[in-house]
Amino acid sequence: MLTRIDHIGIACFDLDKTVEFYRATYGFEVYHSEVNEEQGVREAMLRINATDDGGASYLQLLEPTREDSAVGKWLAKNGEGVHHIAFGTADVDGDAEAIRGKGVRVLYDEPRTGSMGSRITFLHPKDCHGVLTELVTSAQPSADHSSAEH
């Protein structure tokens, strides 16, 4: 069962400049940052608030590390802006299978590793009214959520 909006992914050309905009304009601070080599992105998670299920909601800022990454290709075609929406779930595997059973294409056969050690998969935007949709099962929280580069 989907429990919350986990994050909204925003593609950007310059992560540092975009982080500074969100800090200066809204007061949001970086909760976590990392480089995800598999996805080809450098990212910053800006925590917006805690949620009733013990999770949180974030803005995820994404800068491609290579032009051939999914985010790099998307930026080249669309420019900066909202890239995807992610819903939190306690069981990404089960929910992905249930949604697949309703005729929605799930892009990964098995969930992959996402931000902060989460497990993720994506749903095809053509099956979700034009919205790239991510399902996220958060990793157990660790003691240090500072801006550590991985």
Q: What is the pLDDT of residue 147?
A: 43
Do residues 119 and 112 touch, judged by C-beta distance below 8 A? Answer: yes
**For the whole model, what pTM was predicted?**
0.88
Token pair belonging to 4: 């919350």
| Parallel/antiparallel/unpaired status of strands 2-11 and 56-64 | parallel
Q: What is the pLDDT of residue 141?
A: 61
Distance of CA 4 to the CA centre of its chain: 13
Token pair belonging to 55: 């999770």
Interval 8-51: pLDDT, tens: 999 999 999 999 999 999 999 999 999 999 999 999 999 998 88
Active site residues: 7, 43, 60, 84, 134
Q: What is the pLDDT of residue 144?
A: 45
What parts of the chain have a pLDDT lower than 50? Answer: 142-150
